[in-house]
Amino acid sequence: MEKPLTALKDGDSGVITSIKENPGHGRGAGWGFQKRLMDMGLTPGTKVTVIKSAPFNGPVEVSVRGSRLALGRGMAERIFVAMDK
Amino acid sequence: MTKKKLSIALAGNANVGKSVIFNQLTGLHQHIGNWPGKTVEKAEGTLHFKGYEIDIIDLPGIYSLSTYSLEELVSREYIAVERPNLVINVLDASVLERNLFFTLQLTELETPMVIALNQVDIAKKKGIEIDCEKLSQTLGVPVIPTVAIKGIGVYKLLEVVLETIEKGELKPRQTTYGEEIEERIEKIASLVEKIGFKYPARWTAVKLLEGDEEVENEISKKEPNILPIVKKMADEIEKIHGHSCSTVMTSERYELAGRITREVQQIMPAAKPSMSQRLDDLTTHRVFGYLLMAVIVLSIFCAIFTFGGFASTLLSDAFYSWEPIFENIVGKGVMGELIWGGIEGIMAGVTVILPYIAPFYFLLYVLEDSGYLSRVAFLMDVAMHKIGLHGKAFIPTMLAYGCNVPACLGCRIMETQRERLLAAFVVTMIPCAATTVVVLGLVGTFVNIEWALTLYIVDLVIIFLLGRVAFKVLPGEPTELIMEMNEYRLPHLKTVVNQTWFRLEEFIKIAFPVIIVSSLVIKGMEVLGFMELLSVALSPITVGWLGLRPEMGIPLVFGILRKELTLIMLATLLKPAGLSVLTPVQMVVFTLVTMLYIPCVATIAACVKEFGWKKTLYITIFRIILAIFIGGVAFRILLFSKIL
């Protein structure tokens, strides 16, 4: 079952299936943010664990490849993962 | 005797302790400037060791060698084109996999390399053991374990670096991709080889396949026929894998980094969560996190304002006790007043820097070095999003309450030029320490403290609304937060002190010349009697529109130098009756205008340095019009509502 990273509860993990382009924008913007995420280790097939989300729809802290990252909400919404179960 | 010269670059991710190693190696023989034509910091230092004069460059902390940020561009340009004798790649042993991803990209640049495996102590605490020997064999480069903060391994690192250079050309092992990619890289590389390009051929081929715009542009200038071939190959790879070629290559690189990590690293699960982890949980907690942040930020402000106020009074009292002596020596003529004006300008700078800015920077760097600032950025991300910025922008915003100049420079923390400009527009409107002096000294003292607070709130609302408008108007789209939440650690005192010192040096270089020159100009105008003319010329605005007294235009002119001068000048001009002759409405309107009307000269200079003349001029003109408009509206509201 595929869902956005933001739908995961704290402590849940999943495997990244895809990172959706920023809707309504040209290649430049979408490419930049996708590339950045992948450079930080969020490549398709990687396991991510949600550590916690900041309140009021704030950023999401995730653990990936042994490091911890804070991701803005809008971006986390475009990262799709397949749940373990 | 001429020494043999060498150049060495330090490269690695952010927060791996690169600057600490840099400081250990170079001591005080360093200077920090900008890369030519770029707003990216360049830290350079020299070291004398075993008959060599070694020039060490601390490259910015980056995660990749793509073109996502200016920092990445500058770094790869330096390594590939300037060709230092060797690159020291600093790795954080506790996050090996992600760090190795960067290492693999460095190896593609075919530069001689030594790895400093840093923070092995933190890794050990997390239960991570790394086999350096094995890592060294796998990558084909020497690996030295270090704990830079304690100086462990740094000497050994230097010895191995020299050995490696003396042994001559040592190329690290290359990353190999899947077969279908490798054969295409080879084909493209041979094409690149033929035209002779500034970057290594294989690396160029890799970057072209990844769709790197900068390399594409440069290559098409030399040989436009290569690009269509690359495009076709990239499409073929995309067809095979179902992901874009760039995704496939990044994934493969990470897969390799992961494989190496699993081979060389052993993890014993830690028995209990580490101190860092528990601190992290507390400082990002949805309730306590915010409470703690409020307490920390407020106590920093309280401490600095208490200490700063005390120290600054002490300094300026000592300074003004010299005034009669100065007059005795130089006399009271035009020249004397001019010279005194210049000295006063310098002194004013000193009384701001020492007591306020130095401790502020120091505390901020302690927080940054410890890892706390990234938690603050995490907590404040939502709030900053309302004005189109992400959480990191809260850091310059905080700085701005002390002084707008470092805040303006601090906007470099943002990734894109658009974000930097937007952040600078907002932070230069924040009332700094000097503005606070005016608010409290005039409205707070002569009207009441509630009105002083009201002014603050009104100002923040205006800043917020303008920030929102600017965010909608500026072309481009907002960047989102992608930030590493590095482990908490003890700050390294020497590194913190060095950073504070370099910031102060930068501040002095930017602010002092403009403060002195403009002090002289304004003093000159005063001595020559232009001020009365000016106050007449300004009176349609000051008296007609803002409802102020005619002489109140003059302090506003002086306030451009330093905001607190508006209050000092006003008090002088209204003698003998004093400030109490003003009506409360005049006080409130005057203070509101002072808060809004223009960034001070030093801030303007900082903006010019970061964004150029044109943008700074627009911002400045906008602010003047805004202040006059809002001041006039406020005057009419206050007059007719009779609440004051």
Is B179-267 CATH 1.20.1740.10? no
- The values of phi and psi at residue A52, to 5°, are -165, 160
Amino acid (1-letter code) at residue B616: T
Spatial CB neighbours of B537, under 8 Å, sequence gap ≥ 6: none
Chains A, B: CB contacts under 8 A, how many? 119
Q: B424, B491, B429: which is closest to B465 by C-alpha? A: B429
* B63: chain A residues, CB-CB within 8 Å: 39-40
Name beta bridge partners: A18: A80
Q: Distance (Å) from the C-alpha of residue A61 to the closest C-alpha of chain B?
A: 8
User: Which pLDDT tens digit goes with each residue over B36-74?
Assistant: 767 678 889 999 999 999 999 999 999 999 877 788 989
Interface residues of B toward A, Cβ cutoff 8 Å, are: 63-64, 66, 68, 94-98, 101, 211, 243, 246-247, 250-251, 254, 258, 261, 284, 286, 374, 377-379, 381-382, 385, 390-391, 477, 479-486
**Tokens 């969020």 map to which residue?**
A42
Please name the residues between 54 and 73 in chain A that touch chain B, using a CB distance below 8 Å: 54-59, 61, 65-73
ipTM: 0.91
* pLDDT the model gives residue B576: 76
Q: pLDDT-derived band of residue A27, with 50, 70 and 90 as boundaries?
A: very low
Which stretch of DSSP H or E encloses residue B48? strand B41-49
Residues of A with Cβ-Cβ distance to B246 under 8 angstroms = 31, 35, 38
Is residue B108 a contact partner of residue B206, using CB atoms and an 8 Å limit?
yes
Question: Would you tell me which CATH number, out of the four given (3.40.50.300, 3.40.50.2000, 3.40.190.290, 3.90.1490.10), belongs to the domain B4-167?
Answer: 3.40.50.300
Query: DSSP string covering B177-226, please?
Result: --HHHHHHHHHHHHHHHHH--SS-HHHHHHHHHHT-HHHHHHHHHH-TTH
Number of domains in chain A: 1
Q: What pLDDT digit, counting tens, does each position of B124-159 carry?
A: 988 999 999 999 999 999 999 999 999 999 999 999
Residues recorded for chain A: 85
B480/A72 Cβ within 8 A: yes
CATH number at residue A18: 2.30.30.90
Q: What's residue B457's pLDDT?
A: 94
Across the interface, do A59 and B481 touch by the CB < 8 Å criterion? yes
Among B254, B374, B480, beta carbon nearest to A75? B480
Instruction: For residue range B335-389, list pLDDT tens digits in order.
Output: 787 788 778 778 877 877 778 888 888 998 999 889 999 999 999 999 998 888 9
Rounded Cα distance between B401 and B405, Å, is 10
Tokens (6 digits) for B248: 């496939």
Query: Cβ–Cβ of A70/B482 closer than 8 Å?
Result: yes
Q: Which residues of A touch B284 (CB under 8 A)?
A: 52, 54, 61
pLDDT interval class at B477 (50, 70, 90):
confident
State how far Cα A41 lies from the chain centre. 10
Domain ranges of chain B: 4-167, 179-267, 288-434+456-516, 520-641
Inter-CA distances, B591 with B435, B437, B442, B450, B567, Å: 9, 10, 8, 14, 9
Residue of B261, B382, B483 lying closest to A69 (CB–CB): B483
Quote the minimal CA–CA distance from B252 to chain A in Å. 9
Over range B234-259, report the average pLDDT. 93
Q: Which domain holds residue A60?
A: 2-83
What residue type is assigned to position B5 of the chain? Answer: K
pLDDT at position B417:
82
Instruction: Average the pLDDT over each of B180-189, B407-416, B441-450 and give the range with the smallest value.
Output: B407-416
pLDDT digits (tens, 9 = 90+) for B161-194: 999 999 876 778 888 899 999 999 999 999 998 8
Q: How far apart are CA B327 and CA B333, in angstroms?
A: 9
**Given CB atoms, is A39 within the 8 Å cutoff of chain B?**
yes
A74: contact with B, CB 8 A cutoff: yes
CA B349 to chain CA centroid, Å, is: 21
Q: Give Cα separations from B461 to B396, B443, B458, B466, B539 (angstroms).
A: 18, 19, 5, 9, 29
Closest CA to B402 of B464, B312, B287: B312
Residue in chain A lying closest to B267 (CA): A66
Q: Is A50 left (phi over 0), alpha (psi -120 to 50) or beta?
A: beta
Answer whether B481 sits within 8 Å of A38, measured CB to CB: no
Shortest CA gap B503–chain A (Å): 27
Q: Alpha-carbon distance B299 to B434, whole Å? A: 19
CB contact A42 to B (< 8 Å): no
Q: What's the pTM?
A: 0.88
